[in-house]
């Protein structure tokens, strides 16, 4: 990620580690597998629940998550993510240290810090939770409070002792505290190889809120901040990464996340829109210009400030949140096209229709800047029928910042180019993407 602002560029360069690979990964890129938290491969999976129930639980997490979002352009005096850490929807495995210790973490484009529970662990007393023992790794190094990377993370770190002690807060009031350190991360690639990145700055968390899930080691932030995993991979991946999320109902398949040249998408059907709001830090902002359904075009209010977006893309939010006034217009347009009486779910949250399949439901097109038109088929825009025969829209109104969530991104290959400052989409059968 290259910034036109010298201070941003300096902070970014401080966090660049170095890499090694058994293959020429810097030129060709690499792929890793990602699983949805409701997949049978996930420790969260509950076989007794229905797909519709799992969706409603994911929707509940989305609503909780969205309530944390405030203006991303507001200043803050402490390091924090405004999202809830336990509401993200996808998990990744990689290894930390030498010898490598496999860990399972939440991945989240809505936050930046990479961190893991570490020994000694205050919040782990009396609990059976996975955690790292940094003293068993030959590549573990604690950053000093006076180191440039420590100062870039938290200017007050030196007030807490000789080590780079950090506290990173989340929007729900939870936090992780520990020592900001460096380690080697190793990824098992889908072609059977490995990719290692050395000297990665991460939080070795010794005191973490008990609300963090017991099944997970921690979290890998994929935002645009200088200490996120994406930024620390930096020039090793040319500022490029992508994912292709398999639809939830195909939950026996893993999804793919790609880095470097493997993240570049080409061919028919690719559309691109500018990435904006670089100065806001974490988020991937875009401009949504219109929404269309059934021949009705709905105009979306433009961004409130030049150089910013009016929506951001978030892999960790299940639902798509739309400006409240536009949502009411969308609701009216859908009620005209769908030849069924509208209703709501039992929780009176969603716009629903009594139906036993999604056949006959309309497409909804999101028109982004740069003539990037994304046609959302019923699989993207509506739920699977519930056991009671309800099909519901996977979108809700918001008076806050609109969010392009992960359900509408299913079966799209979504590619981020932080150097070219654009995000691209290609309709793709994600379960068939080469692994």
Q: Which of 172, 314, 323, 417 is catalytic?
A: 314
- 133 tagged catalytic: no
Instruction: Please indicate whether residue 314 is annotated as part of the active site.
Output: yes
Q: What angle do CA 152, 155, 161 make, to 5 degrees?
A: 115
**One of 38, 86, 108, 417 is an active-site residue; which one?**
108
Sequence-distant (6+) residues with CB within 8 A of 333 are: 293, 294, 296, 298
335 φ/ψ sector (left φ>0, alpha ψ -120 to 50, else beta) = alpha
Which residues form the catalytic set? 108, 314
């Amino acid at each position: 990620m290259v910034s036109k602002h010298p201070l941003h560029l300096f902070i970014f360069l401080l966090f660049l580690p170095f890499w090694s690979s058994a293959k020429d990964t810097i030129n060709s890129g690499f792929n890793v597998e990602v699983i949805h938290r409701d997949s049978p491969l996930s420790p969260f999976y509950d076989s007794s629940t229905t797909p519709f129930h799992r969706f409603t639980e994911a929707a509940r997490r989305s609503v909780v998550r969205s309530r944390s979002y405030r203006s991303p352009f507001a200043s803050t005096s402490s390091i924090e993510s405004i999202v809830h850490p336990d509401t993200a929807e996808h998990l990744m495995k990689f290894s930390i240290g030498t010898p490598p210790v496999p860990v399972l973490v939440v991945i989240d484009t809505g936050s930046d810090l990479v961190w893991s529970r570490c020994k000694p662990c205050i919040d782990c007393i009396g609990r059976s939770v996975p955690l790292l023992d940094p003293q068993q790794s030959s590549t573990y190094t604690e950053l000093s409070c006076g180191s440039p990377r420590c100062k870039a993370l938290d200017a007050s770190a030196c007030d807490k002792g000789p080590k780079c002690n950090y506290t990173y807060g989340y929007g729900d009031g939870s936090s992780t505290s520990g020592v900001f350190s460096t380690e080697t991360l190793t990824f098992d690639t889908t072609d059977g190889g490995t990719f290692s990145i050395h000297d990665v700055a991460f939080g070795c968390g010794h005191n973490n809120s008990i609300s963090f899930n017991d099944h997970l080691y921690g979290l890998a932030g994929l935002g645009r901040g200088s200490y996120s995993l994406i930024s620390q991979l930096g020039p090793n991946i040319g500022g490029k990464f992508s994912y292709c999320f398999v639809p939830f109902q195909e939950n026996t398949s893993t999804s793919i996340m790609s880095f470097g040249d493997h993240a570049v998408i080409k061919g028919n059907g690719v559309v691109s829109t500018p990435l904006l709001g670089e100065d806001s830090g974490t988020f991937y902002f875009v401009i949504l210009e219109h929404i269309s359904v059934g021949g009705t075009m709905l105009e979306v209010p433009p961004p409130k400030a030049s150089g910013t977006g009016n929506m951001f893309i978030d892999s960790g939010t299940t639902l798509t949140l739309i400006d409240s006034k536009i949502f009411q217009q969308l609701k009216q347009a859908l009620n005209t096209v769908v030849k069924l009486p509208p209703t709501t779910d039992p929780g009176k949250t969603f716009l629903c229709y009594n139906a036993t399949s999604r056949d006959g439901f309309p497409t909804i097109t999101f028109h982004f800047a740069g003539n990037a038109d994304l046609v959302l088929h019923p699989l993207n825009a509506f739920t699977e029928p519930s056991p009671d025969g309800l099909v519901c829209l996977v979108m809700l109104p918001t008076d806050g910042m609109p969010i392009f969530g992960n359900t509408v991104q299913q079966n799209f290959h979504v590619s981020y180019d932080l150097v070219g400052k654009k995000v691209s989409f290609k309709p793709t059968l994600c379960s068939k993407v080469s692994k």
